[in-house]
Amino acid sequence: MKYSVEELVQRLIKGDKFAIARLISLAENDMSLAQKIISLIYPYTGKAHVIGITGPPGSGKSTLVYKLTKEWRKRGKTVGIVAVDPTSPFTGGALLGDRIRMQELTGDDGVFIRSMATRGSLGGLARATKDVVRILDASGKDIIIVETVGAGQSEINIIKIAHTILVVLCPGLGDEIQTLKAGIMEIGDIFVVNKADREGADETAMQIEDMLNMSSTFRPNEVGWIPPVVKTSAIYNVGISELVDKVEEHWRFLNKMGNEVYFRRRVEQDIFEALRDKIEQKILYNLKKTGKYDQLAEKVAMKEIDPYTAADIILNNVIRFKDEWTEENE
């Protein structure tokens, strides 16, 4: 089955599953194809509410995603799920099993689930995940859930794609809550204590509230939103409806009058990240190919020049501001 990108995009916007899957693969594997795809589908994006779900392993995220999806389906929404798993670092292969928890949803036409692996660089994964989210968005999904395993810095970069970020913890983590401080407490919009049927659920909830009270840096674009702590027991369907309500509440908060600044900031961030990727892609790649990067690195290593000077040298050689601003692609 050979379809052109344009044909696939036409089918995509009608919600065709095969098109969604194939476009995601094309975008994952080829950056220039990805750009072409995004340029075609971008006008159709921007309607979906993107939710990020992160947290330490063992907190029951996959089951939570499954139950949340079921609840959203009950409320008549269509859902796209991106389950992001780390790659085995040595061999470059990956073993993705998050889907197992959600397999009952396979067969519901209103749900699309895709597993993603790291593919070598986590920076690359963040970009690829963003493109996958856009593709699902353009296919008409109301809700898109991005679920990452773990809660380290790399996962944080991925999860920032989302509008609403859920940080999922569970009782009995103990000291791990302290180590979660780095970045996670700042980006969480809603904190979930899952497996709340277990002992220590209330204590965990209180610990989180304490930490939130002490931390003064909430998401700067979201003045006025105080992250709530919600207790759930996904396996027993407890707290799911309430959690979905809270997520919807956050979406209304983001969308309310006077908050366009939030969405504008996201667009600016998107451009910045695209620019940064291009620099890496176009400039660095070429410099490395021509050996110039190596030459500069040698000089810096021998302390002949410092890194800032090296950067200036590159920019001087590569960037020239045109007299006239043009939006033609050369």
Phi and psi at residue 283, to the nearest 5°: -80, -60
**The two structure tokens encoding residue 323:** 């007299």
CA–CA dist 127, 8 (Å, integer): 21
Within 8 A by CB and 6+ apart from 137, the residues are 44, 45, 46, 47, 48, 50, 80, 144
Q: How far is CA 75 from CA 70, 72, 156, 241, 244, in A?
A: 9, 5, 29, 10, 10
The least CB distance from residue 96 to other proteins, in Å, is: 5
Q: How far is CA 234 from CA 107, 114, 115, 240, in A?
A: 21, 21, 21, 7
Question: Which residue number, 1 or 301, has a Cβ lying nearer to other proteins?
Answer: 1
The residues that bridge with 164 in the sheet, in sequence order, are: 51
CA–CA dist 40, 167 (Å, integer): 33
For other proteins, the binding residue among 43, 107, 220, 258 (CB under 8 A) is 107
Residues in contact with other proteins, shown as a per-residue x/- string from 32 to 61 under the rule CB under 8 A: xx----------------------------
Return the range that interacts with other proteins (CB under 8 A); candidates 39-47, 114-122, 202-210, 309-317: 114-122
Counting contacts by CB under 8 A, is residue 99 touching other proteins? Answer: yes
For other proteins, the binding residue among 235, 274, 313, 314 (CB under 8 A) is 235
Counting contacts by CB under 8 A, is residue 63 touching other proteins? Answer: yes
The least CB distance from residue 53 to other proteins, in Å, is: 16
CA–CA dist 174, 68 (Å, integer): 26
Counting contacts by CB under 8 A, is residue 100 touching other proteins? Answer: yes
Counting contacts by CB under 8 A, is residue 103 touching other proteins? Answer: yes
Counting contacts by CB under 8 A, is residue 236 touching other proteins? Answer: yes
For other proteins, the binding residue among 26, 274, 279, 297 (CB under 8 A) is 26
Residues 160-189 that bind other proteins (CB under 8 A): none
Cα torsion 61, 62, 63, 69: sign: positive
The residues of the shown chain that bind other proteins, judged by CB under 8 A, are 1-2, 17-18, 20-22, 24-26, 28-33, 62-63, 88, 91-101, 103, 106-107, 112-115, 117, 119-120, 124, 235-236, 281, 285
